[in-house]
Each structure stands twice: as structure tokens, then as C-alpha cells.
Structure 1
Amino acid sequence: MVQRARRAVVFTGAGISTECGIPDFRSPCGFWTRYKPIEYSAFLASEDTRLEAWRRFLMIRDTIAKAEPGPSHKAVARLMDMGHVSTVITQNIDGLHAAAGIPAERIIEIHGNGTYARCLACGQRHEIDWVRGVIDETGRAPVCSACGGIVKSATISFGQAMPEQQMADARAATLDADLFLSIGSSLQVFPAAGLPVLASHNRTPLVILNREETGLDGLARLVIHAEAGPVLGAVMARLAPG
């Protein structure tokens, strides 16, 4: 199916990045099994909670910062170069699709990006190293250097509204797709998991590649339960031998 596609959407979850050393947050050994997620409302309400949220985020960030694009990221980038994939929609916050060479305008990050921070009041961008420096120097949660507002990683937290523009762009790309390929996502988190449902209802062929079963397997034209890297490697070997 991939070889015939010209406007495929690739939808990615944590499973595409585990091969890069980034843990799956929801697995039995994942981050959320060790730490209860901090709700967005709690982050806003208390500086102590913001400081704890940043402490946890910096632990995650240390892992993300060391990671490099894996075989799956590179395969998706190559499929885009070959004209088969038009858009990547990702639930991941690691920035590895961009690091693999996919242009930013063709990546829709529906859960945000963990490589930088923003002021919730004025939108000013702040680098993570700056945030770390403020915490190390003052022992307090950072505030915006421009307006004094609350600074938060540019990710979507539990209880935080999804980004309207990114979700609108993701729906538009899904409706325009001639193939919807979900890679490494458990398809449990909504509204993100509604995108493959939308593709199926639009009669777009849906392919699911994931290690475990998903609740949407019954909607798919093809389901492959396996690690993403080897499967995509085999696909690329057939499409571009040698």
C-alpha cells in the first residue's frame, strides 16, 4: 500500500522512539507507573507543584536530549523524500522526526514539544537549559523573563486543552490522506486516537504497526504486531533496494 501512496499520513506514538532509548511512559516500567501525572490545574495553582513538575520534566529531558533518530524515524523521513508521505502527526515530544530531517512544516506535534519551554501568558520561548539554570540558582520554578508569567514546557499536560490549530491541521491532513499509517501507538489516548478512526470513517486505508494489540485493530486494513524498526526496514528494502 505504501508504494502506491502519494499523500500518506504517518501517525506516531512512543513505540517509534523506544528503539532510541526513550522509555514508553505507559508501559509497566514507564514513567507514569512510578510518578502520578501532575494535572495542569495543579501546575497552575502552586509554585511548589510547578517546581516538582519541572524536576520530573528535567529527568525526562535528560533522556530525550541524549536520543538520536532511530531506524523508524529515518524510514519515515525517507518515505517522505520518496513522495509517499505528506505529513507526520506525532504524539511524541522528543523532536526526533525533525532531527531525522523532516521539515518542521510537515510535522504536526499534537502533544507539543519537549525541547523548549514557553510562557503561558505571553508565549515567549525559553530554552530548557535556561530553565535548569534558574532552578539551580534560585531553587524556585522559573517565571518569564519578558513578562513574569508562568513558564511551562511546550508540551500538553494532563488536563490541558489540546492545541486547536494543530488538531485542526491533523484532521485536515487525515481527511486528505490516501493512506493512514499508525506506528508505535497504543491508540488509547483521545482525542489523538480519534484520528485513525476519522481516517477509517473516511474510507482511507488504515495500517496499524504496534508491538501489542490496540483497541482500533478491528478498523484497520492491515495490522502488524511487531517492532517498528525491522518492519519499516523491510519495507524500505523493497521500495529502494540497495
Structure 2
Amino acid sequence: MNEVALPEWGRDVRRVAVLTGAGISTDSGVPDYRGPDGVWTRDPALADAFRYDRFMADPEVRARFWRTYLGHAAWRAEPNAGHHALAELDRAGLAVRILTQNVDGLHQMTGIAPRKVLELHGSMRSVVCTGCRARTPTSETLTRVAAGDPDPACPACGGILKLAVVLFGQHLDQDTFAQAEKIAEASQLLLAVGSSLQVEPVASLCRVAVRAGARLVIVNRDPTPYDAMAVEVVREPISTALPRITAALGAARTG
């Protein structure tokens, strides 16, 4: 595929759904989870802190979780070429909707309208009380952690505070996922970018899109369970491949 050469699967595409995973943010310095240098690859025991039942039951687990996010790379990260490529595709006039497994908020930092980004696994930029459900900026909780409170309680009701992300053992928000399914069904092209496609039900959006007639293109370093459904699988680095793909789609739209 040349710089603006459009493959057959990109012809006459006006509606694009993009399913993004941790791989799209690694070039921004945000580590993924399962890759060679992933968070859980380097420290398998840390995965325990991402289990809802363990998080809720053990103050030590919660303390370890908060320490992990205290110095998280995402707080210093900026969008990379892959994120910006999707924003440029939106500005080219295509109907773009981003369905992201990421919680880092980097898509929105490109200037794309927040309504066009569906955060399937929540956001690390908010904290929710598991008791009274009050939401506060994460910075407030992390300030307390840094000051020596390892497991801050809700200042309103004393309940357990949790990052506003979906942990293992939690269900996705039903309304959010139903909206994602509708977007996948309405798309002509679904780009799955930087996701292992091993976490369900989000990965099943690939099947939803294909069954509704969309073309599936996967951009990922490693094989995924959905590769056989794809019209093309791209193994190049995301920050190289995605700008080329979106430039071709955008040029076809404006040409």
C-alpha cells in the first residue's frame, strides 16, 4: 500500500468505526498490559490489583493499585501519530467513531469531539465512590495518596474509592456497550488497532461489524483471535501504518 494508494477494502467508505486498544498508546510512553514490556508481563502479581473482588476486599491491594497510578506514564503522555491520524480522518469528513478500550484519554487530547469517543472500559481521569457513587477528579485522590493516605476513603460517605475504570470481574456499562454495538453495525469499515482482541465482550464488536456487512482491518503487532475475519491484517508499527491508512481513506473522501 503506497502512501495514498487505497486498497479495495477502502473503496466507497464513509462510516468508520475504530476499535483501539493499549497498543495505540505505547508510542506515547504508556505501557500495554500483555506485551513483552507490558505491565502484567513485568509484574504478573500486579494483575491481582485489577480484580474487582480483590480490590474491594483488601486494603493492601487497593494501596498497591493507587501507588501504581500515582506515577503512571499516562499522566505525562501526549497523543502520538496514531491518535492524530484518527483525528485527521475525522476532519477529512468521514463519519468516524472511536470505540476505545483505553482509559488514558489520549484520543480526546487530539481535539476530536468527546462525543465521538466511546470509552468502553471507563476513564482513569475520574474516581467513583463505590458507596454513594460520587465522582471526583483522580488528581484529588492521588494527592491524598502522595500525602501518605494509602487507601483514601470517600470524603462524603467514607466508602471505598475506585478509579472509574472497569476491573476484571465487573460488567461493562450496558448502555455504553449497546451504543458500541450499534456503531459497529452501522460502520462500513471497522479498524481494530493495537488490541489483542482477547478481552470479551469488546472484542466481539469485530464479529458484530462483519456480520452486519462491514470490512474488518486489524492493525496489531501480534496475531489475534479475529485475524481470520479480517480482509487485511497489518503487522507494521501503528504509528507508521495508521497515518498511511487514514491518509488514503481521507484522500479518497476529498478527492
TM-score of the aligned structures, taking structure 2 as reference length? 0.87
Which of these residues, 54, 71, 91, is aligned with residue 101 of structure 2? 91
What whole-Å deviation, never above 9, does each CA across 1:152-174 have from its counterpart, x for those lacking one?
11111111211212111111111
What whole-Å deviation, never above 9, does each CA across 1:191-239 have from its counterpart, x for those lacking one?
1111101111222111111122212111011211111111122234444
Which of these residues, 225, 228, 237, is aligned with residue 227 of structure 1? 237
2:3 counterpart residue number: none
Q: 1:178 to 1:149 in 2, by over 3 A?
A: same
1:53 counterpart residue number: 65
1:29 is aligned to 2:37: yes
Matches of residues 71-220 of structure 1 in structure 2 within 5 Å?
A: 71-220=81-230
Q: Aligned-residue CA RMSD in angstroms?
A: 1.8
What whole-Å deviation, never above 9, does each CA across 1:68-124 have from its counterpart, x for those lacking one?
001011110111122224310001111000001111111111111112211122322
TM-superposed deviation, 1:4: 2.5
Q: What is the distance in 1 between the residues matched to 2:237 and 2:146?
A: 39
Q: What is the distance in 1 between the residues matched to 2:147 and 2:222?
A: 44
- Counterpart of 1:167, as a letter, is F
- Counterpart of 1:168, as a letter, is A
Q: What is the distance in 1 between the residues matched to 2:121 and 2:204?
A: 14
Given that residues 3 and 84 in structure 1 are in contact (C-alpha distance below 8 angstroms), is that contact kept between their aligned partners in structure 2? Answer: no
Mean Cα deviation higher: 49-58 or 4-13: 49-58
Partner of 1:159: helix, strand, or coil?
Answer: coil
1:14 counterpart residue number: 22
Q: Greater relative contact order: 1 or 2 (C-alpha under 8 angstroms, separation 6 or more)?
A: 2
Partner of 2:147: helix, strand, or coil?
Answer: helix
**Percent of counterpart pairs with the same letter?**
36
Q: 1:196 to 1:237 in 2, by over 3 A?
A: closer
Mean Cα deviation higher: 88-97 or 4-13: 4-13
Given that residues 10 and 85 in structure 1 are in contact (C-alpha distance below 8 angstroms), is that contact kept between their aligned partners in structure 2? Answer: no
In the alignment of these two chains, the number of paired residues is: 239
Which of these residues, 49, 53, 62, is aligned with residue 41 of structure 1? 53
Given that residues 117 and 151 in structure 1 are in contact (C-alpha distance below 8 angstroms), is that contact kept between their aligned partners in structure 2? Answer: yes
1:65 is aligned to 2:75: yes
Structure 2 gap segments, 5+ residues each: 1-8
Given that residues 66 and 151 in structure 2 are in contact (C-alpha distance below 8 angstroms), is that contact kept between their aligned partners in structure 1? Answer: yes
Q: 1:3 to 1:217 in 2, by over 3 A?
A: same
Q: 1:48 to 1:212 in 2, by over 3 A?
A: closer
Structure 1 gap segments, 5+ residues each: none
Q: 1:237 to 1:5 in 2, by over 3 A?
A: closer
Q: 1:175 to 1:220 in 2, by over 3 A?
A: same
Given that residues 5 and 85 in structure 1 are in contact (C-alpha distance below 8 angstroms), is that contact kept between their aligned partners in structure 2? Answer: no
Q: 1:83 to 1:237 in 2, by over 3 A?
A: closer
2:6 counterpart residue number: none
TM-score of the aligned structures, taking structure 1 as reference length? 0.92
Partner of 1:200: helix, strand, or coil?
Answer: helix
